[in-house]
Homo-oligomer: A and B are copies of this chain.
Amino acid sequence: MNLLVTGFEPFAGLSHNPSSAILELLPEHLQNHQIIKARLPVDTRHAPEELARLYRVYQPVAAVHLGLAVNRPLLSIERLAVNLLDFETPDNAGARPQDQPILLQAPLALASRLPLRMIQSEWRREGIPGLLSNSAGTYLCNQVMFLALAWLPQGVPTGFIHLPPDETLALHQPQAYLPLSTQAKAVSIAIETTLSSVQAKSA
């Protein structure tokens, strides 16, 4: 059984993105599940294609999507995704949709299917502060989260976690950061908690 974790390639002129750099710090297996790790393009047209392919090929029982939030110093678990593309910066292919829906005929917002409060309290137990966030933005992160919630079957837990800058970014440009090793520990906890909630339901 597969659990899918995705990050994004670098964007906005940076050469590094913690959400993909973190993937190699995550375990290969957790609780009898294979952890499938994939890097998505920062490209509003091709990211959905790649996401659909990953879902089709791996048929994940859960999917945790990751992305960088530049001005948020704490890990944040998104509560909902909105049906809106409105890019302040162009994506890596130069596209810059404004005030566009992601999916026609879909609701304005879809709610995360990750066990938000359980993840937050497991983090706290391990000494890692984290927030619930009410907005995943209107860029690629929100797009991927919205599509995950629209495309995966209702019984498949999925959602989005925004990561803070890491040391590589803060060495390049001084800013608040969280060491990538701490971020990897937090994401592993989030995956384990999500898998536990799957098993609790199916048991």
| Residue A198 at the chain B interface, CB threshold 8 Å | no
Contact A73 B176 (CB under 8 A): yes
Contact B134 A73 (CB under 8 A): no
Residues of B within 8 A of A135 (CB): 133-135
- Residue ID in chain B nearest A108 by CB atoms: B109
| Residue A122 at the chain B interface, CB threshold 8 Å | no
Contact B82 A80 (CB under 8 A): yes
1/0 per residue, CB under 8 A from B, across A159-203: the answer is: 000000001101100111111001000000000000000000000
Q: Which of B86, B127, B137, B174 contacts A167 (CB 8 A)?
A: B127
Residues of B within 8 A of A82 (CB): 79-80, 109, 134
1/0 per residue, CB under 8 A from B, across A91-114: the answer is: 000000001000000011111000
Distance in angstroms from A166 CB to nearest chain B CB is: 9
Contact A175 B134 (CB under 8 A): no
A124 to B170, CA, bound (A): 10
| Residue A84 at the chain B interface, CB threshold 8 Å | yes
Contact B79 A84 (CB under 8 A): yes
Contact A74 B110 (CB under 8 A): no
- Residue ID in chain B nearest A132 by CB atoms: B86
| Residue A131 at the chain B interface, CB threshold 8 Å | yes
Residues of B within 8 A of A17 (CB): none
- Residue ID in chain B nearest A169 by CB atoms: B129
| Residue A128 at the chain B interface, CB threshold 8 Å | yes
| A/B interface sample: 17 pairs, CB < 8 A | A73-B73, A73-B176, A73-B177, A79-B84, A82-B134, A84-B134, A99-B117, A107-B108, A107-B109, A109-B109, A129-B171, A129-B177, A133-B135, A134-B137, A134-B138, A177-B178, A179-B182
Give the 6 A-B CB pairs with smallest separation, nearest first: A73-B176, A109-B109, A135-B135, A176-B176, A129-B170, A134-B135
